[in-house]
Structure 1
Amino acid sequence: MVTLLLDQTQLEVVLSPLERAASFHRDNVRLVRETITKVQLTDDAWTWLRGVPNPGTHIPGVLAAGTWKAAGSTDFVLIRRRRPGVVIDLTGDEQYRRLILSTRHGLALTQALRLDVSEEPADVEEIVATGSVPIAHGRRRPVIRPRPA
């Protein structure tokens, strides 16, 4: 399972040696934080796959790892079995349009992205445990009720 490190400027997906071999990546995946446009939690990351591995490893239902290429998009994928995951949409990233990862830390990632974090990279679980998640204070929307006939 991947480790997610976050600091003020970037999100780093730390890959184990086995994950590096399966995904054909020599280094960890680093994203500029400003390129992250949307983070979605999913119970079945397999439904988010699009395209074919190039280069990558694909054993249906067991492992999908590497770069997935589809018409007009390139995704980084690391899915193991039927575990919960996270889908990270990117805009303006040089390499990828989307990251699809199996991780149980998806909720912690969404919360940590809302916080001000230090300049030193830290695990998203630690960030959430030590920080407080801001609550949006806005105006409440009026409740629209149908008129009686």
Structure 2
Amino acid sequence: MVTLLLDSTQLEVVLSPVERALSFRRRNIAVPREQIVRVQRTDDAWTWLRGVPNPGTYLPVAVAMGTWKSAFGEDFVAIRRRHPSVVIDLDGHDEYARLVLTTRHGVALLRALQLDDVADEPEDVAVLAKPAKPRVKRPVVAPA
């Protein structure tokens, strides 16, 4: 899963070496915050694919990474299996019209993009998420 770094000016999609190879990209993707139009979570990112991989890697229901070209523009896709994902619509970006990314930190990204005061230094989106309190299981006592 990709790493997302967010600061006051941009969102950066950091790709691992394997993700770089599968997506045929040499650099990370930087998106200025003002170009982000909408962010939404999805449980099935495969339904958001449009067009054909060019260049990219596509193994149905396993992995989809790279640039997807369609009549609507180019999308960057980094999907692994059926994990929760985010769809980020962009306006005015040099390369892409949309990003479809598998990440377990979708809720944290949504919260972070709505913050008014964001740190100047990039932070991992996972750090911005507040950990949920663990659920305590209480023993069930049957009435006598």
Structure-1-length-normalised TM-score: 0.84
- Tell whether 2:41 aligns with 1:41: yes
Query: Equivalents in 2 of 1:113, 1:64: separation in Å?
Result: 25
Following TM superposition, by how much is the alpha carbon of 1:128 offset from its aligned partner in structure 2, in angstroms?
A: 3.9
Query: Equivalents in 1 of 2:98, 2:22: separation in Å?
Result: 18
Unaligned runs of 5+ in 2: 131-144
Unaligned runs of 5+ in 1: 130-149
Query: Equivalents in 2 of 1:60, 1:128: separation in Å?
Result: 31
Match of 1:106 in 2: 106
Match of 1:12 in 2: 12
Contact 1:117 1:127 survives alignment (8 Å): no
The one-letter amino acid paired with 2:7 is D
Question: What is the percentage of aligned positions where both structures have the same residue?
Answer: 65
Deviations 1:118-141 (A, max 9, x none): 111001122344xxxxxxxxxxxx
The one-letter amino acid paired with 1:120 is E
Structure-2-length-normalised TM-score: 0.87
Match of 2:31 in 1: 31
SS at match of 1:94: coil
Deviations 1:21-53 (A, max 9, x none): 000010111101100000010000000000000
Deviations 1:74-115 (A, max 9, x none): 000000001110000001111100000111111100000111
Paired residues, number: 129
Cα RMSD between the aligned structures?
0.9
Query: Equivalents in 2 of 1:53, 1:29: separation in Å?
Result: 17
Divergent runs of 4+, >3 A: none
After superposition, residues 1-149 of structure 1 pair within 5 angstroms as: 1-115=1-115, 116-129=117-130
